[in-house]
Amino acid sequence: MFRNIGIVSAVSSKTIEKAVLEVVSIISEKGCKAYLDNRIVLNSASANMEVLPVAALSEKCDLIISIGGDGTLLQAATLTYPHEVALLGINLGRLGFLADLPPDNLKVDLGAILEGDIVTEERSVLGCEVVRSEKVIATCHGLNDVVIQKWNSARLITLNTYVNDKFLHSQRGDGMIVATPTGSTAYAMSGGGPILDPEIDALALVPICPHTLTNRPIVISDKAMIEIRIATERDDQARLTCDGNSIHDLLRGDKIFISRKAKAIKLAHPSKNNHYATLRAKLNWALDPC
């Protein structure tokens, strides 16, 4: 099913090296070619392995395996977008909402995936532009969320939010999270936002510590154009981040435009993957009585 498989990781360690070498061995056994992220440092190598920059992996490979946690997979998604290559995560991190393949039985589980025991799903991606004095000064895209938050001041920031050119609210607080269904179980959930089913075509707007307690999270169509205007009394109080990466400092008068991008990111899972079972396991919900 797959011929060229990329392997990415954001860090190098003995644990990562052990997992990488095991994955390369499994890939070789299945008659596939392995391409390794050039940021990974190995003390040993395989003849069936070629080293490439991460951005080049998406052009060469038909499957990319992320070894680490959800942050590693998010980084891989950012670097490989908009190439439509499937991403599979092996979880060596903490929760593993996205990187959901456990490392303890890779020979069987990954072997089955490489033989076709796999499902893929498309996850929506946010695109963002920062406009200052009628000029675009920064752009970004993210699988999880775009966040506007206070930065180098303990003071509240003021944000004016519009949806499809219609005024929604003016909010004083610590910021705003705009999350995809994928990101609804990340920072947005910590901020009291709703968990969105990945199949729902929606976005969540989640205020961060709003001063007005009735200013609650709201779910809107992912076809909407969101505009957030920085209305702070002082400059250098806010910053834009995307999937946890710092993008740009924001000044009074800046406009941030956020919308769903046309292309999605393709995530791969074992065929037995169950979104609700993942929620139960990762969030320690009550077990299925059956």
User: How is the chain split into domains, by residue range?
Assistant: 4-124+264-283, 126-260
pTM score: 0.93
Alpha helices in 145-289 (DSSP H): 187-190, 275-283
**CATH architecture designation of domain 126-260:** Sandwich (2.60)
What is the CATH number assigned to the segment(s) 4-124+264-283?
A: 3.40.50.10330
Catalytic residues: 70
CB 129 within 8 A of CB 139: yes
Q: Taking 60 as the threshold, does the pLDDT of residue 47 lie above it?
A: no
State in Å, rounded, how far the first CA of the chain is from the last one.
35
Per residue in 109-149, pLDDT (tens digit) is: 999 999 999 999 999 999 999 999 999 999 999 999 999 99
Please tell me if the domain spanning 4-124+264-283 has the same topology as the one spanning 126-260: no
Per residue in 65-111, pLDDT (tens digit) is: 999 999 999 999 998 899 989 999 999 978 788 988 988 889 999 99
Question: For 197-215, b where at least 16 C-beta lie within 10 A, e where not — what string?
Answer: eeeeebbbbbbbebeeeeb
Q: Is 209 helix (H, G, I), strand (E, B) or coil?
A: coil
